[in-house]
């Protein structure tokens, strides 16, 4: 196994390696292998305080092993349950975010360094079945890659039995995580109960799954190239054109991820294509999407820098949308300008009998609170003409009997 690791690291050289170590058999074997090669590396361990004294003992065990070997050990302590109570979220996902976030922070401190995990061939197969059960796309079914710009998995093609044999032959000590035997967790259920029976009944199944993952990986890589090309187009125009509604779902989702929009919004974005112009969709920290006649425009979560242009027209459209206004020129005093609003300011929208606070109107439009505070208004002097994307003030509405109108077109970005 030392020679296998040696060849792998020759293909992926770095000035320093940061080895993620949990105290389990896989990572302790990898620690031993790295020490045998005498390459520059450190160990990283995160204590989530999820298992009381066991968590504490794991951290001390890893630190003691590093002391014996003369290896630097980075320890991070996080009370994950308290963190989840305060912030919410999925325990396993948040633990992963913390673990990789800490690793990334260490990599930034050491140029040309790279992280290493002890994922092995059985982990790869388990991950495939997990993603299949959860309905993942090509990205999940492709499995883990053995190398990326920030992370290496040198044991990814090594079976668990070979790792266990190496540990016994070299007298390597490790600690068992008791939660790994709890079959209430899906991964544990697959590893302990479901997959052994399945592989026994179908001895060739592992090879067939590995073949499938390779095919999925090739398709996924092709989709990634297409998605990157599409992302550049979307980014250049600030728009998902109507013609892209029919894109392959996997390509579309990959492009969304590159725009920092989570895949879970895919179905709702497809629905947004079919809705009236001006309809909006909040996509979390990525901001909002606005349906327009050209397609779906991207708008930042803090749209205070909204652009607009004006022109004089002589006719009104059959339908109106919240991003294209037609104003009464007799009420306009130039210049018009975009600005923020004050907490006490109100507006009587066209069609309503009384004024409401700007914040209440934004809340009624389902604008998230963190976005409402930054949402712009259009002013004519000290008077608010309207809220872009939401409504026009009653006093500035176009007179249908007029012969001239001020058309204001906003450009969300």
> 20-54: per-residue pLDDT in tens?
999 999 999 999 999 999 999 999 999 999 888 99
- Domain boundary pick from 147, 177, 203: 203
Which domain covers residue 100, as residue numbers? 2-203
Residue 302 pLDDT > 50 = no
The CATH number covering residue 101 comes to 3.40.50.620
Domain at 344, CATH number: 3.50.40.10
Please tell me whether residues 223 and 282 are part of one structural domain: yes
Residues 138, 223 within the same domain: no
The whole-angstrom separation of Cα 399 and Cα 316 is 10
Strands 377-380 and 336-339, how do they pair?
antiparallel
Q: Give the pLDDT score at 241.
A: 94
In this prediction, residue 351 has a pLDDT band, given cuts at 50, 70 and 90, of: confident
Query: In terms of domains, do 252 and 343 share one?
Result: no
Q: List, as one string, the DSSP characters of 20-31.
A: E--SSHHHHHHH
Shared-domain flag, residues 290 and 345: no
147 and 34, same domain (yes or no): yes
The whole-number pLDDT of residue 117 equals 96
**155 and 229 belong to one structural domain:** no
Omega cis (within 30) before 335: yes
Contacts of 187 (CB under 8 A, 6+ apart): 126, 130
pLDDT digits (tens, 9 = 90+) for 146-191: 999 999 999 999 999 999 999 999 999 999 888 888 888 888 999 9
Give the chain's mean pLDDT.
90
The reply to whether 199 and 286 lie within a common domain is no
Residues 22 and 141 in one domain: yes
Burial pattern 10-34, b for ≥16 Cβ within 10 A else e, equals: eeeebebbbbbbbbebbbbbbbbbb
Domain boundary among the residues 203, 222, 247 is at: 203
Are residues 223 and 199 located together in one domain of the fold?
no
**Does 255 lie in the same domain as 388?**
no
- Each residue of 212-243: pLDDT tens digit? 999 999 998 999 999 999 999 998 888 999 99
Here the tokens at position 165 are: 């044999």
In the chain, the percentage of residues whose pLDDT exceeds 90 is: 64
Q: Could you give the CA distance from residue 409 to residue 412 in angstroms, rounded to a whole number?
A: 10
Measured CA to CA, the distance from residue 136 to residue 142 in angstroms comes to 10
pLDDT of residue 301: 52
Q: Write phi, then psi, for 95 (nearest 5 degrees).
A: -60, -40
Looking at the structure of the chain, the number of domains it has is 3
- Tens digits of per-residue pLDDT, 101-146? 999 999 999 989 999 999 999 999 999 999 999 888 788 899 999 9
Task: State which of 284, 299, 314 marks the end of a domain.
Answer: 299
């Amino acid at each position: 196994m030392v020679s296998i690791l040696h060849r792998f690291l020759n293909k992926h050289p770095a000035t320093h390696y940061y080895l993620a170590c949990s105290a389990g058999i896989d990572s302790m074997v990898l620690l031993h292998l790295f020490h045998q090669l005498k390459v520059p590396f450190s160990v990283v361990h995160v204590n989530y305080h999820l298992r009381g004294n066991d968590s504490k003992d794991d951290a001390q065990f890893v630190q003691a092993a590093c002391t014996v070997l003369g290896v630097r050990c980075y320890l991070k302590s996080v009370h994950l349950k308290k963190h989840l109570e305060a912030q919410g979220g999925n325990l396993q996902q948040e633990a992963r975010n913390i673990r990789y976030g800490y690793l990334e922070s260490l990599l930034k401190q050491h140029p040309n360094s790279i992280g290493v995990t002890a994922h092995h061939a059985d982990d790869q197969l388990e991950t495939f079945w997990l993603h299949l059960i959860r309905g993942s796309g090509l990205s999940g079914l492709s499995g883990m890659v053995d190398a990326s710009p920030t992370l290496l998995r040198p044991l990814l093609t090594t079976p668990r039995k070979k790792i266990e044999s190496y540990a016994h032959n070299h007298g390597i000590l490790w600690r068992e995580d008791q939660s790994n035997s709890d079959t209430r967790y899906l991964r544990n259920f697959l590893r302990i109960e479901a997959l052994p029976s399945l592989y026994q009944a179908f001895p060739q199944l592992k090879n067939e799954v590995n073949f499938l993952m390779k095919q999925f990986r090739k398709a996924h890589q092709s989709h990634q190239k297409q998605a990157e090309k599409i992302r550049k187009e979307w980014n250049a125009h600030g728009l998902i054109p109507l013609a892209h509604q029919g894109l392959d779902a996997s390509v579309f989702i990959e492009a969304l991820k590159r725009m920092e929009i989570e895949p879970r919004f895919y179905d709702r974005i497809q629905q947004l294509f079919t809705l009236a112009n001006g309809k909006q969709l909040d996509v979390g920290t990525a901001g909002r999407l606005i349906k327009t006649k050209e397609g779906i425009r991207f708008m930042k979560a803090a749209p205070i820098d909204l652009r607009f242009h004006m022109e004089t027209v002589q006719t009104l459209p059959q339908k109106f949308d919240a991003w294209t206004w037609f104003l009464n020129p007799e009420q306009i005093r130039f210049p018009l300008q975009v600005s923020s609003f004050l907490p006490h300011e109100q507006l009587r929208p066209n069609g309503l009998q009384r004024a409401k606070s700007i914040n209440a109107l934004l809340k009624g439009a389902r604008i998230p609170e963190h976005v409402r505070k930054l949402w712009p208004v259009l002013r004519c002097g000290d008077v608010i003409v309207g809220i872009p994307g939401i409504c026009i003030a009653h006093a500035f509405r176009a007179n249908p009997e007029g012969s001239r109108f001020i058309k204001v077109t906003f450009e969300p970005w």
